[in-house]
């Protein structure tokens, strides 16, 4: 059995001998502590860049067919046609101003396209073709344009001789239009209800229903054409 021998402290008092303290390991330099985080950040950034590079970029739909050259009359009574739209994509629809049912809905949808693409300005045009040109004079179309808040710099309404309008709509856009007799023996105007997206070279890129999904799609695809 061993015994602890007290040591003589200052003034002759007994104190226990102090045991030597073990030296603590030196802290790593600050730069060494930050190195793993720097490496992690670089690896993460490299993975992110690689993922972005490998993600396929959305592309506009391919051309379907080319429109023939045409010139009609706008709602100011001036000649207007394919040459005036050259170089800029546009959305087309087909209505007549006295239509009590589907046409107001189509025109409101076109107004929605106008609002949702305000930021691109006149880089995207909107064109409404009257399928009742015998009654939809420039003056009538101008009043209709004001009613629906058409932007004069972007949205144009077209009319013209019936034969010329039919050629553009039927043969060019492949959209139905005409008159048929109802059960009461009265002639009624009928026409296609789809929107058409045309690129800056006068080529049709797609046909779209005027429902929520169709409007979402045509706005997206129109933006892709503008950004090309």
Q: How far is Cα 57 from Cα 186, in angstroms, rounded to an integer?
A: 52
Q: How far is Cα 154 from Cα 181, in angstroms, rounded to an integer?
A: 36
Per-residue model confidence as pLDDT tens digits over 171-227: 999 999 998 877 776 778 999 999 999 999 999 999 999 999 999 999 999 999 998
Instruction: Answer whether 52's CB lies under 8 Å from 158's CB.
Output: no
pLDDT of residue 182: 77
User: What CATH number does the domain located at 65-226 have?
Assistant: 3.40.30.10
pLDDT of residue 53: 42
Residue numbering of the annotated binding site for Cu cation: 99, 103, 191
Q: Name 200's bridge partners.
A: none
Q: Name 206's bridge partners.
A: 197
Q: What are the domain boundaries of the chain?
A: 65-226
Place of tokens 């932007």: 151
Q: Closest by alpha carbon to 98, among 179, 216, 25? A: 179
The residue length of the chain stands at 228
Residue numbering of the annotated binding site: 99, 103, 191
Per-residue model confidence as pLDDT tens digits over 134-183: 999 999 999 999 999 999 999 999 999 999 999 999 999 999 999 887 77
**Most distant pair of Cα atoms in the chain: their distance:** 134
**Residue 192, CB-side half-sphere exposure with 13 Å CA sphere:** 17
Q: How far is Cα 100 from Cα 107, in angstroms, rounded to an integer?
A: 12
Query: H/E element holding 181?
Result: strand 177-181
Distances from the Cα of 217 to the Cαs of 41, 62, 158, 191, 214, in angstroms? 38, 14, 24, 22, 5
Task: List the structure tokens of 184.
Answer: 């009461």
């Amino acid at each position: 059995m061993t015994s602890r021998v007290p040591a003589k402290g200052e003034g002759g008092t007994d104190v226990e001998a102090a045991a030597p303290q073990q030296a603590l390991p030196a802290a790593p330099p600050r730069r060494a502590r930050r190195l793993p985080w720097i490496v992690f950040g670089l690896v993460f950034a490299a993975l992110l860049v690689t993922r972005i590079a490998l993600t396929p970029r959305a592309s506009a739909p391919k051309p379907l067919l080319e429109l023939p050259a045409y010139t009609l009359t706008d709602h100011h009574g001036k000649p207007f046609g394919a040459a005036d739209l050259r170089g800029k994509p546009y959305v087309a629809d087909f209505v007549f101003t006295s239509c009590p049912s589907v046409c107001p809905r189509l025109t409101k949808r076109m107004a929605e396209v106008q609002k949702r693409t305000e930021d691109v300005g006149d880089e995207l045009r909107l064109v409404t073709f009257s399928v009742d040109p015998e009654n939809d004079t420039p003056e009538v179309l101008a009043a209709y344009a004001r009613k629906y808040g058409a932007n004069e710099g972007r949205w144009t309404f077209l009319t013209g001789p019936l034969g010329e309008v039919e050629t553009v709509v039927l043969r060019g856009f492949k959209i139905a239009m005409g008159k048929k007799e109802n059960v009461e023996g009265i002639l009624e105007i009928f026409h296609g209800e789809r929107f058409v997206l045309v690129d800056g070279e006068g080529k049709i890129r797609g046909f779209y229903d005027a429902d929520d999904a169709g409007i979402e799609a045509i706005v997206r695809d129109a933006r892709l054409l503008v950004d090309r």
